[in-house]
Amino acid sequence: MNLMWLRRDLRIDDNPALIAALQSGPTQALFIATPEQWQQHDMAPIQVDFIERHLNLLAEQLAKYGIPLTVLTVPNYASCTIALKEFCHTQQISQIFANQEVELNECIRDRQILAAGLNLTLYEADVIVPKGTVKTGKGDMFHVFTPFRNAWVKQLQQHSIKTSSHPSEVLTHYQSIRAEKIVLEATKKSSEKWPLVSDIKKHVMPEFLQTKHADYKQYRDFPALKGTSGVSPYLAIGALSSKMLASQVLQHVPFILDNAKADIFCWLNELAWRDFYKHLLFAYPNLIKGITFSEKYSNLNWPNSNEYFIAWCEGRTGYPLVDAAMRQLRQTGWMHNRLRMVVASFLTKHLLVDWRLGEQFFMQHLIDGDFSANNGGWQWAAGTGCDAQPYFRIFNPITQSEKFDPDGSFIRKYLPELSNVPVKYIHLPHSYLAATGQSECYWPAIVEHSQARQIALAFYKQQLGAPENDSNARN
């Protein structure tokens, strides 16, 4: 009997480990829940619930092919080896098939399992282009995204995307069974507002490719609009395959790889960014330990005002776009990508709070929490990461608001206390509120933008011994 060990690959489509197991013989599936480990890794309760819902969907899909799915619960990764060994003995499992996870603790767990003598074979299912294959001419990992993307595109041009077979293509004889209800014994928060991946594949992605994909670049930065695909939560838990998505885009727009600067390439470019951060973590596994990618930033002495950090977490900074974004995160478990950049820049450069605190807070709340992407995004914003924005680039939350939420629709949705503020004042409403006797309805600005910007520049220059020229700064 073979065992398919499910992790962050909760799908039957393009699941190489599952197909290898089925091709090798009779198979059953296993998911090991590790609530204490999840807590240590700051997994958001909404993501735990999302995983539970997709485990139940997957159990039903596997049951149609006569494949039972069992869930074991152990405290942490250290307990996995004993539990897995006992399960294999009881179920007479001879081979274990699984898709690799790139994070350091997960890699250590797998090495311990192999050291215990279990027959574990690992496959790759979390990237479009294999990790470690996109390299510079010297054979190193790219440290800048654009040349990485160009080499990534070249590989796609030279080698067509090959997705794994579907179980129905492998199994010729099977008898359906009954799927048992799965309940994860861990802290959860309802994810019911997010549809199951079956609906995404049936309705959302076809509509996106047919009607929204071409306009993605034009509308993706406006949080009040539904201009994005919204698939990040499904990619984060492996309910969707990034390789399959890329394949669908190439089928829809066969010439898309010919010009990476074209507007229509923009959404595929986001999948390339996702690959970039996975490849980066594969090449530099110690990023999981909270180190800065750029060594010169490793000893930044962040002031870390607890008052500022709490105000940022609670959406009480006095900057409407920042506060609305933080409320979106806390209420929905998701935040628009443009706003992730804005609030991360605000925390690190307006408030001078360590990016690691923001990174942790995001993971504790995001339904699409993924370490490599989250770490890469936060280090990008703080200027400490690989191909990061320079330290002197500091987003102006007011002009960002005026540009990407011009009529204040997004702000009003999450800050109803500002619903009656005219558009002219919505992006920084304090003068209007004071003049109309409504000052008590909204928080004062926690810092003044221009002053905070100068303090941030001085902080980075002092810490880094940087030259005084910041003429390339952008607000």
Q: How far apart are CA 94 and CA 2, in angstroms?
A: 6
Q: Is 274 annotated as a binding residue?
A: yes
Q: Is 172 annotated as a binding residue?
A: no
Q: Which of 38, 194, 312, 378 is catalytic?
A: 378
Catalytic residue among 5, 38, 152, 273: 273
Give, in order, the Cα–Cα distances in Å from 262 to each of 11, 100, 255, 385. Answer: 32, 34, 11, 27
Q: Would the annotation count 219 as a binding residue?
A: no
Q: Where are the alpha helices (DSSP H) in 159-227?
A: 167-170, 197-199, 205-207, 216-219
Which one from 60, 337, 402, 417 is the annotated catalytic residue?
337
Per the annotation, does 277 bind a ligand? Answer: yes
- The single residue of 355, 374, 375, 443 carrying the catalytic annotation is 355
Q: Give catalytic status of residue 5 as yes or no.
A: no
94 is in an annotated binding site: no
Distance from C-alpha of 83 to C-alpha of 94, rounded to nearest angstrom: 15
DSSP string across 316-383: -SS-HHHHHHHHHHHHHS---HHHHHHHHHIIIIIS---HHHHHHHHHHH-TT--HHHHHHHHHHHHT
Does residue 77 have a known ligand-binding role? no
Tell whether residue 267 is among the known ligand binding residues.
yes
Distance CA 60, CA 39 (A): 28
Annotation-wise, does 174 bind a ligand? no
Is 355 among the catalytic positions?
Answer: yes
Residue in 36, 60, 270, 417 annotated catalytic = 270
275 is in an annotated binding site: yes
Q: Which of 36, 105, 124, 302 is catalytic?
A: 302
Query: Annotation-wise, does 42 bind a ligand?
Result: no
**Number of helices (H), then strands (E), in the chain:** 22, 5
Instruction: Give the separation between CA 156 and CA 257, rounded to whole angstroms.
Output: 8
* Residue 380 assigned as binding residue: no
| 276 labeled binding residue | yes
Active site residue 378: yes
Q: Is 229 annotated as a binding residue?
A: yes
**Would you call 273 a catalytic residue per the annotation?**
yes
Q: Does 376 count as an annotated binding residue? A: no
Record the tokens describing residue 102, joined without a space: 């790139």
Q: Is residue 308 a known part of a binding site?
A: no
Q: Kindly list the distances between the CA atom of residue 236 and the CA atoms of 127, 249, 401, 411, in Å, as whole numbers in the listed order.
A: 11, 19, 28, 27
Annotated active-site residue 334? The verdict is no
- Maximum CA pair distance of the chain? 76
Quick check: 350 and 394 in contact, CB under 8 A?
yes
Which one, of 70, 57, 50, 64, lies nearest residue 6 by Cα? Answer: 70
Q: Which residues are annotated as a binding site for FAD?
A: 216, 228-232, 267, 270-277, 368-370
Q: Which residues are annotated as a binding site?
A: 216, 228-232, 267, 270-277, 368-370
The residues annotated as belonging to the active site are 270, 273, 302, 337, 355, 378
